[in-house]
Chains A and B, each alone.
Chain A
Amino acid sequence: MFRYILLDCLHSMNAERTISGVFHLLRGKKSSQTFQDAKVYGIDRYYGIYPGLKRETVINILEKLEKDQAIQRVDESRVAVTEIGRGELNSHVETLHFSGMEYSEAVNEFQDRLLLWIQVLSNAVHHKEYYLPVVDGAAVQQWAKKLYIKEKKRLGYEGERLFHELIRILAGLSEMEKDLFVRRLTGGGDTGWTYDQLAESWAIPISDVPLYLKNTHYYLFFEAVKNPSSSLHKLTGDLVKKESLTASSKKSIRLFDEFQSLEEVAELRGLKTSTIEDHLVEAVLVDPERPIDAFIGESELEEIREVVQTIDTKRLKVIHDELDGRYSYFQLRMVLAKLQKG
């Protein structure tokens, strides 16, 4: 699965971004560059779905892809997907449920909660009083404690309800995904399995295991959200779609709408102009309907759009040069944000 996702990202980025760009995207780096890449190349669903990803893992898979001629080196830090690679992408059959840009934080939290809550329920029905929680982190433990106190009187019933619910919902997943999910759980007398152990039992690469589990949790999360009367809904109730803009960005945008001057906003906020620019680009990435006529005229936008489409690139430098440097990088970023994917 990791191989597919990596290939898909590389393909979408069209050799215009470095490998590091993909790495940051999958890990969910909070930077305006990563954010912009995700949106402009239409791969925001993968944002932050693999927080534990290591550079070695990426390098490892890239080497394999290169050996299989699915990718080609463009230069030291960029690769292009070949015909063989595109074939591989098209033959992929697994269903992906990721929606990282909006939900990675919520689903990560949900995953911890579910692991811990099942341990709590299971130990309760096994009458195990003292045990070490499998998930560290004060916030999630605090959350579990609250739910435990609330449900204390009917944990047995809750356990059974959750069992039937999971059996029903898991039916929508592959045999392997079901198995990976269930073996990861801890409770009663039984300890869950590590990524390494799960990988061994299904003879899959270890780098795929966190992704399969994550995919399952996205699926469970959305099922739970859809169904307010479900047992799982208790675990998702307060987990919401990520605020698409940071508080700081929002402030800059509000101030800009009021004063209509980058410099003034920068001075008022004591930030660099370039930071305010980042915030305004973000605003358009999140809401492509937002007007940008304060920065660029209608006919100029058309000119840039044409160039972007003709030379089929989203690399600012190339577009900038093609237009003989008549537009600032900020203007170009605004237009790319407006155009988004497609």
Chain B
Amino acid sequence: MKSPADLEATLEEYFGFSTFREGQKEVIMNVLDDKDSLAILPTGSGKSLCYQFPSLVKSGLTIVVSPLISLMIDQVKQMKSRGMKRVAALHSFLTTEERRRIFQHLNKYDLLYISPEMLLMPRMREALKNVSVSLFVVDEAHCISQWGHEFRTDYLKLGLVMKELEDPPLLAVSATATPQVQEDILFQLGRSQAEKIIYPMDKPNIQLSMSKVESEAEKLAFLKRYLQKQQAPTMIYFSSRQTAEKVCYELKRDSLGKIGFYHGGMEAVDRQLVQQQFMKNELDIICCTSAFGMGIDKPDIRLVIHYHLPPRIESFIQEIGRAGRDGGECTSLLLYAPGDERLPRMFIDSELPTDEQIEGFVFKTEALESTPSLEACVTLELSESQYNFMRYQVETANINGINDVSKLKRSMKQMKRKREKKKLTHLERMLEVLHTTGCRRKELYRHFQSFVQPARYICCDRCDASVFEVTYQLQRKRTVAAPWQERLRALLVPDGSYEK
């Protein structure tokens, strides 16, 4: 066991920080003592360090179950770029060759990111029997409760895998989990006795503001006026790729700074370039969808703007959490025009099947005497999540011995309405924050905690409308683009000539 001073030395060596952020040390000490823990740490507090760090110190393999492939890839990239090489991510995007390479070297890794689907594969489980697993981490653990019943059904089987691995210590981490979700996470994992380490989610350094305008055009005009007064690292979130691009061009036309856009439809190198430009302050403003920001740790973002309404407060909290990670003053601005709730509503509709789709799916299941494949359901025009929802429902019904077709349909429709209601509740909560006449900070966090910390700057526009006048002026030195020969020289021969 290392002494606390050693911990800080290791932190400095691998992560380049001299001290831990709030909460990190407590979680890490717990993990190093092999205690089961559930850690709820706010976005931007360095959650991943809570398992990355122990994986370096502990002997044996740390398994991190993570729901998002892009998140895994990003984190592995970041760890490698800091010189930690014994890490890997195992997911469905890898080629067979790449997978085999990881399979053969399981014993050599300190840390392995893995998707739940991959972890549950029989071959993987077999391979892991020969590996000593010293820590089992469930990242973004709220997925177990929030989504697990629908499309990440494999998440519900993690408890079983932990048993097979001879019950390694557990660390479940999340940034957004209501008390009810926290209980559910530990229940589903079969570790109800785990210690809960919960830090408040509210950021005292963020100032909340929301503005209702009359139309889409007025929204854009408001944004332009607002940005005219700002010069600082800024993120603007959109719920559609097209709008992100369109507004980006609009802002560029008005010369509101160096601006770029980022979304999942872009070519891979382009995405990498935009991200790096923003990290290095070569861009001031980034117009993006929620695809951006995953695993991005830029400390000095001052402004996070929402051009569209997020579908749930959890996403909102996560996204505004990217501002002011350095602890300095920062602002969140949400813009709302009438009808903005339509987009998230449509999104919810597309995630769950209609009654007709349920009828059709059950009919097909009957006819085929097995669960139909997604391809076999083309006529039903299902989205992947609609399909997954129904497949899971049918399969659980089989296990529970429900053979009666009308009963099955009835229970599926019921379940759908329940999920729909739940999703609409999430949206409703977002709207409550928007429409409240009271303090937005209290309204935003009340589902997660019973108090809010005092705001370090302005609390919100309900408490003090002058929040709209807050400006950030960080002058950046902009270099003029050099001719191509000079640029090429600067890249490859920066210090003049070498001796041959």
Q: Taking the nearest CB of chain B, how far is it from the CB of A240, in angstroms?
A: 19
B487 within 8 A of A: yes
Contact A163 B492 (CB under 8 A): yes
Considering the complex, give the chain A residue whose CB is closest to the CB of B485.
A167
Which of chain B's residues have a CB closer than 8 A to the CB of A167?
485, 488
**Additional A-B contacts beyond A118-B491, A121-B492 (7; CB < 8 A):** A52-B267, A122-B491, A136-B272, A138-B94, A156-B498, A185-B488, A196-B261
List residues of A (168-194) whose CB comes within 8 Å of B's CBs.
178-179, 181-183, 185-194
Interface size class of A (residues with CB under 8 A): 35 or more
Contact A179 B493 (CB under 8 A): no
Q: Which residues of B contact A (CB under 8 A)?
A: 73, 77-78, 81-83, 94-95, 98, 260-261, 266-270, 272-274, 276-277, 280, 282, 481, 484-485, 487-495, 497-498, 500
Which one of A22-30, A69-77, A125-133, A273-281 is at the interface?
A: A125-133
Considering the complex, give the chain A residue whose CB is closest to the CB of B486.
A182
Q: How far is the CA of A67 from the CA of B134 in the complex (A)?
A: 66
A211 within 8 A of B: no
Q: Which residues of A contact B (CB under 8 A)?
A: 52, 115, 118, 121-122, 125-126, 129-136, 138, 156-157, 159-160, 162-163, 166-167, 178-179, 181-183, 185-197, 201, 210
Which of chain A's residues have a CB closer than 8 A to the CB of B266?
194
Q: How far is the CA of A189 from the CA of B282 in the complex (A)?
A: 10
Can you give 14 A-B contacts (C-beta < 8 A)?
A134-B276, A135-B272, A136-B73, A138-B94, A138-B95, A159-B493, A166-B488, A167-B485, A183-B487, A185-B488, A185-B491, A194-B266, A196-B270, A210-B267
Contact A191 B273 (CB under 8 A): yes
Contact B276 A132 (CB under 8 A): yes
Considering the complex, give the chain A residue whose CB is closest to the CB of B278.
A191
Which of chain A's residues have a CB closer than 8 A to the CB of B273?
134, 186, 191-194
Q: How far is the CA of A120 from the CA of B126 in the complex (A)?
A: 38
Q: Taking the nearest CB of chain A, how far is it from the CB of B38, in angstroms?
A: 31
Contact B260 A160 (CB under 8 A): no
Q: How far is the CA of A196 from the CA of B94 in the complex (A)?
A: 29
Contact A183 B270 (CB under 8 A): no
Considering the complex, give the chain A residue whose CB is closest to the CB of B78.
A132
Which of chain A's residues have a CB closer than 8 A to the CB of B280?
189, 191
Which of chain A's residues have a CB closer than 8 A to the CB of B272?
132, 134-136
Contact B498 A132 (CB under 8 A): no
Q: Taking the nearest CB of chain B, how far is it from the CB of A103, in angstroms?
A: 20
Considering the complex, give the chain B residue whose CB is closest to the CB of A135.
B269
Q: Which of A132, A138, A163 contacts B493 (CB 8 A)?
A: A163
Q: How far is the CA of A134 from the CA of B261 in the complex (A)?
A: 17
Contact B488 A132 (CB under 8 A): no
